[in-house]
Amino acid sequence: MREWPSREEWQAEAEYAVRTRCTMFERLEEAQPGTVWLSLGEETELEELARPAAAALRPLLTAEIERLRVLLPDRPKNSRPRGLWFVALEGQRYEDACNLGSLEGMRAEVQRDVRGPGWGGVAWHLGRVRKSYPGIVLPAGLLAAHDRMTVLLDAAAARRREAAEAVEQAAVDAEVARRATDAGWAKELERRARIESPRVVRYPA
């Protein structure tokens, strides 16, 4: 027989049980599935910024990709030989190969982002370039566009977090109230009894 917490301990664990059952964002998605946290005006502005930003970013990525390919003329085209080639690299060649593969993937993702509502992805890739690829010089207009996109996306993220925190707190309050009732405790005892004495399903031989 397992050692169960007392009623008082069980009540005290209400908040912990709610907060560890799932993330607050999973709880929010269950409560408000498919919610868009950008206003229509913000979404329109984001698209108007991201579409030309993606068009400006792609040739910059292509130029850096071509520069790195020249440095790695022996890079195999097929994936399996390329994997074997990659693991044998060292030093600067290894770093160049990492950057090349990453930038090729980024260019493909940017292309996909502009075919659908993936404007946040364009902003994210611009941020990656600014942070991790100093060899790619972004023009002032592109930097300004990224700054504004970041403001819009951060505002939407803040709204989403605020809503998630509210949904989670409501769930905590409800669980605390439930565990304070005799009915809630009775159901908990029933649950424990089912665990201690599970039903056995017997199949005919």
> So where are the chain's domains?
40-158
DSSP alpha helix (H) spans, the chain: 7-12, 14-21, 24-31, 40-71, 79-87, 91-113, 119-132, 140-179, 182-196
Position 77 scores a pLDDT of 87
Q: Which two tokens stand for residue 76?
A: 């195999």
| pLDDT one-digit tens code per residue, 4-56 | 999 999 999 999 999 999 999 999 999 999 999 999 999 999 999 999 999 99
Are residues 15 and 129 in contact, defined by beta-carbon separation less than 8 angstroms?
no
| pLDDT one-digit tens code per residue, 92-139 | 999 999 999 999 999 999 988 887 677 899 999 999 999 999 999 999
Cα 96 from chain centroid? 27
What is the per-residue burial (b if ≥16 Cβ within 10 Å, else e) of 61-80? Answer: beebbeebeeeeeebeeeee
